[in-house]
Structure 1
Amino acid sequence: MTYLRASMRSLSWLTVFVIILLAWWVMFDMARMSGVDVWGRPVGMNMMPMESFGTLFAMWAIMMAAMMLPTMVPTMGTYDALIKSANGTRLGWVGVLLGYFAVWVGMAAALAALQLVALQAGIVDGLGAFHSLWAAGVLLLAVGAFQFSRLKATCHGVCHAPMQYFLGHWRTGFVGGLRMGAGLGVFCAVCCWGLMALGFVGGTMSLVWMGLATLFMVLEKLPQIGEYVIRPMGAALIVAGLAVIGLAAVG
């Protein structure tokens, strides 16, 4: 029985990491097929903009797997500990992961719809980047200011210390895991919406933005340093927003 449990644990974690790697590979392939470089800039004459809801939703959903599943690793490690010390189960572990990701799939649908509306209104181009430096600067300022908000602190507190959430909302089994995962997903979506929205500044097909945003969100959730990176990032975003607005004003 102990060997079986260890094997299931290893298989569960391996599956998650394989999904993350596959999602990044698919995003890289989508960027290549769309005719953009790693910065999201068009290269050559074969650019293929994404202009339908179905295509945009697929892109955002895969992007969520690539960017948000790595940030979930500390939380899933916490639940893993509860399998040993409490009455957690491997099915509950899977439920937490699926419930969490379901929230981000919903976020993917919302962002795809937003991008489609913005595209039809001429606010963004076919690769999801703002036409206007003013819009880019304002979004940078808004996301930077959010890093200092009470709402950010509250939601980050849950994401940063999932053990407290699990102890306060503990449910057993797969369905219980789904409920807890969905709750964690909501907190995480509110905590990280700004970093996802920043894709509209440099283009939603920018692999550089995806990588940097993923790295920062992972750092935010690390127990040792998470609380120390939020405000410096907010300050950096505000400075960047002011710089972009300055460029817009002189241009």
Structure 2
Amino acid sequence: MRARSRLFAPLFVALTASAWIVLWMWDAGPYARYLRHASWDELPVVGTICRAVPGASLMLEASLHSVAWLLMIAAMMLPTAFPLFDTFRRMTIARDNQRVLTALLIVGYATAWALFGLVAHGFDAALHRLADRSPTLLAHGWLIGAAIVALAGVYQVSSLKHRCLDKCRSPLMFITEHWRGGSARRESFWLGMSHGAFCIGCCWALMLLMFAVGTGSVGWMLALGAIMAAEKNLRWGRSIGTPLAVALMAWSAWIVVQHAGIV
């Protein structure tokens, strides 16, 4: 039991590191642009399948975007939730099915973020289609980026953000509030889903910045992941909110001033 317990943290680190390595290799390779907004139809093999099979384009693009998004979540968000996973593992260490329960917890957490990813990618795709049909919006697309950055800044100091952050910063209290162990497997999964929902409540605005600066940018993922991990897990994490909000609002204003001077 102790040997298995000692393996949890190294395995978790290995999982996170593997996600970062895959993303780095993808971003550095010839297909890096497909990690962002380029069409998967243009890939040599995938594109052929998309064009040959009715409906395959939508299904394959959705699947590949889902893979990319889950890799990002594994790299960026799983480390921020490690205290919850480790606390839960310690609380259930006497159970024979502890590994299954911990796995279900992680799967529930990832599921919440996967659902958010579907909504975010749908919103992003809708904006791109709208811009493609509107020459004015296409010419002033920077306004959307400035608005997203400003929204992220405002949300950093909102009461909803801080309520969700409080939930994420207290893993033991969160577990005792949401998990009774009666229907252990189901409750483990829903515990992960619930924590994922509060985690999204903390971070959704910052995650939207990925769409403003380009999803798949490993540098931005590292920066945002570090900020979110510090907010949730370090004692001084709550103090990040205000200076980050000021920085984001200044960035948004700079985008507006820069482009307004050109127009």
Q: What is the TM-score with the length of structure 1 in the denominator?
A: 0.82
- The one-character-per-residue Cα deviations of 1:115-155 (angstroms, maximum 9, x if unpaired) are 333333337xxxxxx97222111111111000111110111
> In the alignment, what sits opposite 2:243?
232
Q: SS state of the match for residue 121, structure 1?
A: helix
- What amino acid is aligned across from residue 170 of structure 2 in structure 1? A
Q: What root-mean-square deviation, in Å, do the aligned CA atoms of Structure 1 and Structure 2 show?
A: 2.7
Q: In the TM superposition, what is the alpha-carbon distance from 1:178 to its structure 2 partner?
A: 1.2
CA distance in 2, matches of 1:171, 1:23: 32
- Identity in percent: 24
Q: In the TM superposition, what is the alpha-carbon distance from 1:186 to its structure 2 partner?
A: 0.5
CA distance in 2, matches of 1:64, 1:82: 25
Contact 1:143 1:195 in 2 (8 A): yes
The answer as to 2:53 corresponding to 1:64 is no
Give the counterpart of 1:105 among 95, 114, 119.
114
Contact 2:131 2:141 in 1 (8 A): no
Unaligned runs of 5+ in 2: 41-60, 133-138
CA distance in 1, matches of 2:20, 2:145: 25
Contact 1:144 1:235 in 2 (8 A): yes
Q: In the TM superposition, what is the alpha-carbon distance from 1:97 to its structure 2 partner?
A: 1.6
Q: In the TM superposition, what is the alpha-carbon distance from 1:185 to its structure 2 partner?
A: 0.5
- What amino acid is aligned across from residue 109 of structure 1 in structure 2? L
Within 5 A, what are the aligned runs for 1:108-119? 108-119=117-128
- The one-character-per-residue Cα deviations of 1:57-96 (angstroms, maximum 9, x if unpaired) are 2211211111111111122233244346999944433332
Taking a change above 3 Å as real, the CA distance of residues 48 and 103 of structure 1, as seen in their structure-2 partners, is closer
Unaligned runs of 5+ in 1: 41-46, 124-129
- What amino acid is aligned across from residue 24 of structure 2 in structure 1? F
- The one-character-per-residue Cα deviations of 1:148-200 (angstroms, maximum 9, x if unpaired) are 11110111110111222112122323332212111100110121111111012
Q: SS state of the match for residue 72, structure 1?
A: helix
The answer as to 2:231 corresponding to 1:199 is no
> In the alignment, what sits opposite 1:14?
10
Decide which moves more: 171-180 or 185-194: 171-180
Within 5 A, what are the aligned runs for 1:10-49? 10-34=6-30, 49=38
CA distance in 2, matches of 1:85, 1:164: 20
Decide which moves more: 187-196 or 101-110: 101-110
Structure with the higher fraction of residues in helix conformation: 2
CA distance in 1, matches of 2:154, 2:92: 39
Q: How many residues of Structure 1 are paired with residues of Structure 2 in the alignment?
A: 232
Taking a change above 3 Å as real, the CA distance of residues 188 and 217 of structure 1, as seen in their structure-2 partners, is same
Q: What is the TM-score with the length of structure 2 in the denominator?
A: 0.78
Taking a change above 3 Å as real, the CA distance of residues 55 and 121 of structure 1, as seen in their structure-2 partners, is farther
The answer as to 2:85 corresponding to 1:76 is yes
CA distance in 2, matches of 1:7, 1:207: 34
Taking a change above 3 Å as real, the CA distance of residues 7 and 85 of structure 1, as seen in their structure-2 partners, is closer
- What amino acid is aligned across from residue 30 of structure 1 in structure 2? W
CA distance in 2, matches of 1:54, 1:84: 35
Contact 1:53 1:112 in 2 (8 A): no
